[in-house]
């Protein structure tokens, strides 16, 4: 009887430890948790909204576009009243993105602020690209590019396709204003 109780205790302790180790919030959970928060702006865009289907694209660019499904955008706009929450949320996102399952593709400086591009998946088939940028005077923006079997080399082709499109920021609402300043 003591052996059974001991083994049950050990099993319960193992389950508790495994649950505690996996308590890191996922990016998806972060999006869902904050999409109703008044400090956040949230937009889901279908790839079709980018108007790239009307652009003169190469076959490689069309193939890259075909692997994309949608863009999830979550932005935090700084106001005089939410500076402390901005710092807290910025730290939360950076902690999520430090997870080893994200591979960093590049870092860059933009007119908005500092940005980084990461992805989930492997070198042959990316399922999600994450673009994160922040500015201490504007806020931050988190963009999830969701697709199926996206190829890292073809992401460049996608960016070129977007440049060729006549997309002017339709559907972005207040997020477009955040980018402008």
Any domain includes 54? yes
140 found inside a domain: yes
For the chain, which ranges sit under pLDDT 50?
A: 5-22
Examine residue 105 and state whether it is found in any structural domain, yes or no.
yes
Q: What is the pLDDT of residue 122?
A: 79
In a domain, 168, yes or no: yes
pLDDT score of 56: 73
Helix (H) or strand (E) holding 108: strand 103-109
The domain tally of the chain equals: 1
30 assigned to some structural domain:
yes
In a domain, 12, yes or no: no
In a domain, 10, yes or no: no
Domain range holding 173? 25-180
pLDDT confidence of residue 147: 81
Give the orientation angle of helix 59-66 with respect to helix 152-164, to 10 degrees. 110
pTM for this entry = 0.71
14: in domain: no
The sign one gets for the Cα dihedral 166, 168, 172, 175 is positive
């Amino acid at each position: 009887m003591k052996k059974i109780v001991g083994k049950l205790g050990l099993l319960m302790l193992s389950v508790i430890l495994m649950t505690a180790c996996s308590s890191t919030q996922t990016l998806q959970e972060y999006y869902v948790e904050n999409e109703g928060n008044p400090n956040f702006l949230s937009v889901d865009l279908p790839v079709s909204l980018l108007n790239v289907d009307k652009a003169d694209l190469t076959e490689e660019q069309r193939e890259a576009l075909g692997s994309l499904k949608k863009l999830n955008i979550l932005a935090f706009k700084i106001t005089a009243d939410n500076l402390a929450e901005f710092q807290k949320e910025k730290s939360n996102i950076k902690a999520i993105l430090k997870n080893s399952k994200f591979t960093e593709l590049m870092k860059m400086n933009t007119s908005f602020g500092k940005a980084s591009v990461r992805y989930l998946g492997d070198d042959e088939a990316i399922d999600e690209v994450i673009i994160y940028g922040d500015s201490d005077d504007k806020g931050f923006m988190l963009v999830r590019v969701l697709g199926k079997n996206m190829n890292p080399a073809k992401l460049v082709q996608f960016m070129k396709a977007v440049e060729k499109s006549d997309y002017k920021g339709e559907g972005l609402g207040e997020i477009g204003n955040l980018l402008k300043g």
